[in-house]
Amino acid sequence: MVEAMSQLQKEKAQLQEELVVLRERLTLHDSEQQATTTQLQNQVENLKEKLISQSQEVSRLQSELGGTDLEKHRDLLMVENERLRQELQCCEAELQALRAQPAATPCQGCEHVQESTQLRDKVSQLQMEVLENKGMLSELNLEVQQKTDRLAEVELRLKDCLAEKAQEEERLSRRLRNSHETIASLQAQSPPVKYVIKTVEVDSSKTKQALNESQARNQHLQEQVAMQRQVLKEMEQQLESSNQLTTQLRSQISMYETELERAHGKMLEEMQSMEEDKNRAIEEAFARAQVEMKAVHENLAGVRTNLLTLQPALRTLTNDYNGLKRQVRSFPLLLQEALQSVKAEIGQAIEEVNTNNQELLRKYRRELQLRKKCHNELVRLKGNIRVIARVRPITKEDGEGPKAASVVTFDPDDDAVIHLLHKGKPVSFELDKVFSPGASQQDVFQEVQALITSCIDGFNVCIFAYGQTGAGKTYTMEGTRENPGINQRALQLLFSEVQEKAADWEYTITVSVTEIYNEVLRDLLGTEPQEKLEIRLCPDGSGQLYVPGLTEFQVQSVEDINKVFEFGHNNRTTEFTNMNEHSSRSHALLIVTVRGRDCSTGLCTIGKLNLVDLAGSERVGKSGAEGSRLREAQHINKSLSALGDVIAALRSRQGHVPFRNSKLTYLLQDSLNGDSKTLMVVQVSPVEKNSSETLCSLRFAERVRSVELGPGARHTELRSWSSQEHLELEPACQTPQPSARAHSAPASGTSSRPGSIRRKLQSSA
Q: Which amino acids are annotated as binding site, given as ranges? A: 467-474
- Tell which phi-psi region holds residue 532, choosing left (phi > 0), alpha (psi between -120 and 50) or beta: beta
Smallest gap from Cβ 686 to ligand ADP, in A, equals: 10
Q: What angle do CA 253, 254, 258 make, to 5 degrees?
A: 120
Are the CB atoms for 572 and 579 separated by under 8 Å?
yes
The answer to whether the CB of 544 falls within 8 A of the CB of 759 is yes
Interacting partner of 666 out of Mg ion, ligand ADP, none (Cβ under 5 to 8 A depending on kind): none
What is the Cα Rg of the chain in Å?
73
Residue 540 beta carbon to ligand ADP: minimum distance, rounded to whole angstroms: 39
- With CA atoms as reference, report the closest residue to 459 among 760, 749, 677: 677
The 426-455 contact track toward ligand ADP, x by CB under 6 A, reads: ------------------------------
In the list ligand ADP, Mg ion, none, the entry touching 265 (Cβ below 5 to 8 angstroms by class) is none
Count the site residues for ligand ADP by CB under 6 A: 13
Which positions from 629 through 688 interact with ligand ADP, judged by CB under 6 A?
A: 683
- Interactions with ligand ADP, residue window 473-492 (CB under 6 A): 473-475
Positions in the binding site for Mg ion (CB under 5 A) = 473-474
- Among residues 390 and 660, whose Cβ is nearest to ligand ADP? 390
Q: Does 470 bind ligand ADP (CB under 6 A)?
A: yes
Q: Which is nearer to ligand ADP, 302 or 393 (CB)?
A: 393
CA atoms lying within 13 Å on the CB side of residue 236 = 13
Least distance to ligand ADP, CB of residue 470, Å: 5
Q: Which residue from 12, 74, 278, 392 is in contact with ligand ADP, where contact means CB under 6 A?
A: 392
Residues belonging to the binding site for ATP are 467-474
Considering the complex, state which of residue 397 and residue 725 has its C-beta at the smaller distance from ligand ADP: 397
The CA distance from 510 to 551, in Å, is 10
Do residues 630 and 482 lie in contact, with contact meaning Cβ atoms separated by under 8 Å? Answer: no
Q: How far apart are CA 398 and CA 394, in angstroms?
A: 7
3-class secondary-structure state, position 42: helix
Indicate which of Mg ion, ligand ADP, none lies near residue 686 (CB less than 5 to 8 Å, by partner kind): none
For residue 583, the minimal CB distance to Mg ion (Å) is 5
Of 33 and 586, which CB lies nearer to ligand ADP in the complex structure?
Answer: 586
Among ligand ADP, Mg ion, none, the one that 392 touches (CB under a kind-dependent 5 to 8 A) is ligand ADP
Interaction between residue 588 and ligand ADP (CB under 6 A): no
Quote the CA–CA distance of 225 and 187 in Å, as a whole number. 11
Please, what sign has the CA dihedral across residues 121, 124, 127, 132?
negative
Candidate list 393, 399, 548, 710; residue touching ligand ADP; CB under 6 A: 393
Binding of ligand ADP by 614 (CB under 6 A) = no
Greatest extent of the chain over all pairs of C-alpha atoms, in Å: 222
d(CA 745, CA 330): 87
Whether the CB-CB separation of 450 and 609 falls below 8 Å is answered with no
What minimum distance in Å lies between the beta carbon of 461 and ligand ADP?
21
CB of 568 to Mg ion, least distance (A): 14
Nearest distance in Å: CB 610, Mg ion: 17
Query: Smallest distance from the beta carbon of 394 to ligand ADP, in angstroms?
Result: 9
From the centroid of its chain, how far is CA 4? 138
Q: Residue 459's binding partner, choosing from ligand ADP, Mg ion, none, with beta-carbon cut-off 5 to 8 A by kind?
A: none
Q: Please, what's the b/e burial string for 19-46 (b: 16 or more CB within 10 A of its CB; e: otherwise)?
A: beebeeebeebeeebeebeeebeebeee
CA–CA dist 346, 439 (Å, integer):
60
Minimum CB distance to ligand ADP smaller for 393 or for 548: 393
- Our CB check for ligand ADP shows the closer of 240 and 443 to be 443
Crossing angle (nearest 10°) for helices 206-382 and 66-100 = 40
- Contacting range for ligand ADP; rule: CB under 6 A; set: 348-356, 471-479, 497-505, 569-577: 471-479
| Residue closer to Mg ion (CB basis): 568 or 755 | 568
Site for ligand ADP (CB under 6 A): which residue of 467, 658, 674, 755? 467
What is the distance between the alpha carbons of residues 268 and 260, in angstroms, rounded to a whole number?
12
Count of residues making up the chain: 765
> Residues 429, 702: contact at Cβ < 8 Å?
yes
Binding site for ligand ADP (CB under 6 A): 392-393, 395, 467, 469-475, 584, 683
